[in-house]
Structure 1
Amino acid sequence: MNLAFRFSYFGDRFFGSQMQPLLRTVEGEFIAACKRLDLFDDWREANFVTAGRTDRGVHARGQVCSFQTDRVDRAIGVLNQVLPADIWCTAWAGVSDEFHPRYSAASRTYRYYFSPAPGDVVAMHEAAQEFVGRHDFSSFSRAGDRNPERSILAARVFEDGPFAVFEVTGESFLWNMVRCMATALERVGRGKAGAREITRLLTGPAEQRLPAAPPEGLVLWDIGYAVSFTPLPIDEKSRRYLVDRHRYHILMTEVSTLLAPGEELPE
């Protein structure tokens, strides 16, 4: 049977999502857990694939993978117990053999978290609307040989506690595209640029690519499919890990309010 799993992870302890020899990666840990449960012997023969890659430090709330296995009940019932604490499955679905996590996706949503908020969140939201539609994102990505045009379906910036959050939904994205968009919006929030600057970069001749914002703020938030997923309970070890991360975040946020302007938290 071909199974699809929606899963989450914190990316700061991984060398990205894609498998790499001798390095801890999300795919490597996920495949290792599947092998320990005898869900498959060879990930290639099982057609294990994910919806896309995330860079080192990037997190995911709604990553998706699929693979074939005869041990369906074991995969659904036990996989979360075997995965490490910083990866956990949130839902599953039985899918057709033609399903592919990457090519079957109708849309992808990312969120970039700015902490603290750069300043004028209203101006950032208004500027983010310039991204909506189909544009050439050469100045906002590392397109390489790929078509630099992408269609953005929705974009917004809003406040969430100490964060300003940039949420963007598109049919697909280029490498570093969301992080470069975040850089442009941060400049708007700090009063160093306006919406016209974004329009110029989207419509004018390709210029030098904007620098990408730090990966730690980026979250692969959701991927849209014509598939109904069944929710899964979070394993207790992952739940404790989430609680500890939440407490740490609150502590660091409180400490950061005591810093002088320009002073940074110690490593």
Structure 2
Amino acid sequence: MGAGSVPARYLVYFQYLGTDFNGVAAVRGVQRAVGVQNYLEEAAERLNSVMPVKFTISSRTDAGVHALSNAAHLDIQRRSDLPPFSPEVLTEALNTHLKHPAIRVLQAFRVPSHFHARHAAISRTYLYRLATGCPRPDRLPVFERNRCWALQAHCLDVAAMQEAAQHLLGTHDFSAFQSAGSPASSPVRTLRRASVSPDPTSPFVLPEESRQLQFWSMEFESQSFLYKQVRRMTAVLVAVGLGALMPAQVKAILESRDPLGKHQSRVAPAHGLFLKSVLYEGLGPTSMQPPRRPSETQYRSHR
């Protein structure tokens, strides 16, 4: 190590289709499963850092879950005679060396050496996509498969789902929506936003199919979530939309703090879930945060 050589810390945003991965976290050892992090760190090896580069992921996603924008921090220590990479050069270099076409680095920022991608996040938003009017998953357009949860029902009671979502907003013990294996020390979380809205017609749906297939989006925003909390909340709200639950029952489920109940133990499929954004104070690709549609019905907790 040359004299005067110090690590430079970066925050990077990246996206991926999760279908081929065992989640975002790296899989160590000789297992055939692989995580998104494995490919990111393999690409970073080509940067000739003095010390090995490790990505510290902001938000872990499970196998099959996608990300429009996840984040991680990493340290790169170049030789003392070389300046630190600019964020633009780092972004281009990582994309050049990435060996999987379903991963892309979006943007990079220089951050202080004490910055932590997971602990510094002030907001995370998840998007869940549904499709109604689909008798079988193989009736979906091939370009929509593994990107939404296909429901046989021809419609959803969106008003009831929106009413039910109100019971989840605010600060609560979300034990009823937490799967076993969560590393969280406390089940208390603050859900800032929950929305249910129709999606524009998919560009991949043929005109003759568009009369039957309807797409829907659900979004959840919080500083952090429990393990599989979003997929469990989604399953319960879909049950409300299908008439299997009344909106008031969602409040009872939440207050039960029981994760093993008949309805709350159901988990929505991974392939409909997208990590939409991770936000930091004063940092982030703001162009990637589109304004919310005025017609979208939202509920906000009082803060």
Give the whole-Å Cα distance in 1 for the aligned partners of 2:274 and 2:195. 15
**Residue 152 (str. 1) matches residue 191 (str. 2):** yes
1:95 and 2:132 aligned: no
Structure 2 CA distance for partners of 1:207 and 1:8, relative to 1, 3 Å:
closer
Distance 1:205 1:79 in 2: 44
Partner of 2:245: 193
Equivalent residues in 2 for 1:107-186, closer than 5 Å: 107-116=123-132, 119-142=156-179, 144=182, 146-160=185-199, 161=201, 162-186=214-238
Q: Distance in 1 between matches of 2:286 and 2:158?
A: 34
Shift of 1:158: 0.6
Q: Give CA deviations for 1:97-151 in whole Å, capped at 9, x if unaligned.
A: 1111100001111111112265122321222122110112111112657311111
Aligned to 2:281: 226
CA distance in 1, matches of 2:23, 2:259: 28
Equivalent in the alignment of 1:42: 52
Q: Please say if residues 109 and 222 of structure 1, whose CA atoms lie closer than 8 Å, have aligned partners that are also in contact.
A: yes
In our comparison, the structure showing a higher alpha carbon Rg is 2
Alpha-carbon contact 1:34-1:79 (below 8 Å) kept: yes
Do 1:132 and 1:152's aligned partners in 2 also have CA atoms closer than 8 Å?
A: yes
- In structure 2, the residue corresponding to 1:56 is in which secondary structure? coil
Q: Does the CA-based 8 Å contact 1:93-1:230 persist in structure 2? A: no
Amino acid at match of 1:34: A
Give the superposed CA RMSD. 2.2
| TM-score normalised to structure 2 length | 0.70
Size of the alignment, in residue pairs? 230
- Offset at residue 81 of structure 1 (A): 2.1
Question: Which consecutive segments of 4 or more residues in structure 1 shift more than 6 A?
Answer: none
Is 1:15 the counterpart of 2:22? The answer is yes
Do 1:153 and 1:169's aligned partners in 2 also have CA atoms closer than 8 Å? yes
SS in 1 for 2:217: strand
The answer (yes or no) to whether the contact 1:157–1:165 under 8 Å persists in 2 is yes
The correspondence for 2:35, drawn from 17, 25, 31, is: 25
The amino acid across from 1:174 in the alignment is: L
Deviation of 1:207 after TM superposition, in Å, equals 5.1
Match of 2:208 in 1: none
Change in Cα spacing, 1:199 to 1:75, as seen in structure 2 (3 Å) is same
Deviation by residue 1:146-188 (Cα, 9 ceiling, x = unmatched)? 3111111111111103321110101211101000000001101
Does the CA-based 8 Å contact 2:65-2:272 persist in structure 1? yes
**Letter of the structure 1 residue corresponding to residue 34 of structure 2:** R
CA deviations over 1:13-33 (Å, ceiling 9, x no partner): 001111113332100000001
Unaligned runs of 5+ in 2: 1-7, 79-83, 133-150, 202-213, 288-303
Q: 1:231 to 1:126 in 2, by over 3 A?
A: closer
TM-score scaled by length of structure 1:
0.79
Q: In the alignment, is the contact (CA less than 8 A) between 1:92 and 1:231 conserved in 2?
A: no
Q: Which amino acid aligns with 2:37?
A: E
Q: Match of 2:67?
A: 60
With 21-30 and 10-19 compared, the bigger mean Cα shift is at 21-30
Q: SS in structure 1 opposite 2:190?
A: strand
**Closer, same or farther: CA 19–175 of 1 in aligned 2, 3 Å:** same
